[in-house]
A and B are shown apart, each in its own frame.
Chain A
């Protein structure tokens, strides 16, 4: 607009309207001044007009692109001219009649006073101005304007101003964002838990350039051969700013101390790391980071994570970040050590260990709970396929050497994955382990039978541990202890015990030979007598068939009785493995007394058997339990005989002292137990009998204890003699 001459509002507007837009003409730099030039030649005028129009078009385009409008203001007449772009900036249609009020109505309320002041000053002092202010647009948005004017001084009596209105909203926003980001950067720089320092490479770059100019191509090699040069570079690398964290990490409290070179940060041992950083910069890498060791001003060295970023394009400035990783490194080392210890233990323990990934199983559990399953046991009853699926979901991830050995595998790999192969004999154990996990128990343990890879069956103590805190991973640790030897030893012990009891029974049969013989002879004698009698009936002149028939029936019954007695003796004499079955304690006592009937009769002993038991049963081997009762009864009868007691009473009682136990006591009317013998009664080879081996009570104790019971003796007999009692656990079911 500068240089236009006295443009009247009307004329300008008319001129603008008169000029239809036409493109394609050469650009003519110029202004409206040309329109003022007198020209009588029509062609010239036409040419001038089209040139002017072109010029105006270009101007309008330029204004639009630069978001800069123009205006003219005749202070004397109050006339105001706006360019097309100015109208757009102010948000008015170009035809609007421009007045000061129209302009002021758009000014942001907060800026209205200052704009008014500027206008007043212009009107009074006719001064050019340059202000920034805001517009409040009808849609609520705010525009930032930069308005510049200058006076057209060639007409002092008719003061006019020409000006430019720049929409600087976008610029303002950028500036704001920039300021914001700068503040943020500063905040970060100071507050982050990372030591940041800004370095200036200008001098060190010069050193490197000089080196290159001197013909050095292989920097790495050069640095290696000239370590002092690396130090030179360090010294030439200046620290221009540090954050508080750097002061805390490297310094001694004063920031200024650190604003020197980076040399002191780099101990000899880290020289190579520094070289790498320099090489990275030479190779124009934007960023470099490494773990290294750095030095504080006080000389101490620490583990650091060092990052370098070139802040400027030309690589003159860089930002270095240092994190003290001493603690992290130590923690890592400790972790590594503990991991190694775990590995070592895992692989070298003389126990089979498996590490399982339980993640899919836990997902299944979660799903089941989501479906409202409360009791897993019931669920398994309804969905038997669950167990196979669960085995499939539990993957062995690792096993130790001992497992490979114990499970007869050729390689570790054979044991990885699901464990279907091991549960053939013990699916119930697996089921209980699942139920235990379902209940959230951390530990499950059971002795069971596992199938090995080579098809053997081993007795094992199976333990599953589910530590809850291994990095949140659902890991199970399984240990398998081979109990095969132990079970074999246990079986061997049982066998020796059974042999021992058997030997004792044989020995007792020996002691009871007379009674045994009598028991057998009794029915045999009856049969013989019956036979004789029959013969006599038949030898009569008139054989009495009825009598013979009766006698023959009796003989058959006696023969049956004889074979029963022999079977009973045979059972006592036979050696066989104990076979625990559910027994009534009173039945066993009755059988023992039957066996002793003759002994009791011949010794003239009065025997009574009182029972206070209901239907409770014990789980025991019949022969062994009979043996105990026979032994205790024989002991009592022998004691009474030895003491030549006149009155010989033997009472056997059974009671249930509590719901879990049954007791049987054998009471006699003998002399009782001498106090000095009390503690040794159940020892081997202890006997008060003439010619006694001293094994009877020892066997009784061994049998009772093998059945989970206890045996004891006192002088609490109701007949005033000794009382031997044993208890056995009540069998459940």
Chain B
């Protein structure tokens, strides 16, 4: 899935890179060099929401788009509360993701 999203974003004309987990992304050292972050809510280790909270705490304001396969009620509210700019449920429409991305990057 990760691989497909990277390909999809690149097909829209952006540069993109995939990471296996939130921890791996945080360790890459160029977090502030990215214009947007797309993350799954549920991941082994740090969750998407925890990642956003971590970024906020470290004053990193890169917009975060969250995706989830879960249908727990309240999950979207939690994501929005944490500061996510968009929230998508799988399976999502590719156009919808691009629209979210364009929205997040709009000046």
Contact = CB atoms under 8 A, between A and B. Distances in A.
Given A514-B71, A598-B69, A602-B70, A524 B7 contact: no
Nearest to B97: A529
A522 interface: yes
A529 B42 contact: no
Interface residues of A, number: 25
A550 B8 CA distance: 12
A554 interface: yes
Interface in A136-195: none
Nearest to B6: A533
Contacts of A525: 1, 90-92
B21 to A, nearest CB: 12
Contacts of B100: none
B91 A533 contact: no
> What is the predominant secondary structure among interface residues of chain B facing chain A?
loop
Nearest to B68: A602
A525 B5 CA distance: 10
A536 B4 CA distance: 13
Nearest to B5: A529
Contact of A530 (B7, B44, B70): B7
Contacts, number: 68
Contacts of B7: 529-530, 533, 547, 550-551, 554
Interface in B1-34: 1, 3-5, 7-8, 10-12
A518 interface: yes
Contacts of A558: 4
Given A532-B94, A536-B11, A601-B42, A521 B5 contact: no
Contact of B1 (A522, A534, A537): A522
Contact of B69 (A537, A551, A554, A602): A602
Contacts of B1: 522, 525-526, 529
Contact of A536 (B12, B70, B90, B93): B12
A529 B94 contact: yes
A264 to B, nearest CB: 117
Interface in A507-528: 514, 518, 521-522, 524-526, 528
B44 A533 contact: no
B94 A547 contact: no
B11 A533 contact: yes
A604 interface: yes
Contacts of A533: 4, 7-8, 10-11, 94
A554 B3 contact: yes
B74 interface: no
A529 B10 contact: no
Nearest to A523: B1
Contact of A521 (B8, B47, B90, B97): B90
A531 B11 CA distance: 11
A21 to B, nearest CB: 150
Given A514-B71, A536-B12, 7 more contacts: A518-B69, A521-B90, A526-B1, A526-B4, A528-B94, A530-B4, A602-B70
Instruction: For the complex of A and B, list the 10 residue pairs with the smallest distance between their C-beta atoms, beginning with the closest.
Output: A532-B94, A525-B91, A536-B11, A533-B8, A533-B11, A529-B4, A526-B4, A533-B7, A518-B69, A530-B4
Interface of A: 514, 518, 521-522, 524-526, 528-534, 536-537, 547, 550-551, 554, 558, 598, 601-602, 604
13 contacts: A514-B70, A521-B69, A522-B69, A522-B90, A526-B1, A528-B91, A528-B93, A529-B5, A529-B7, A532-B94, A532-B95, A551-B7, A554-B4
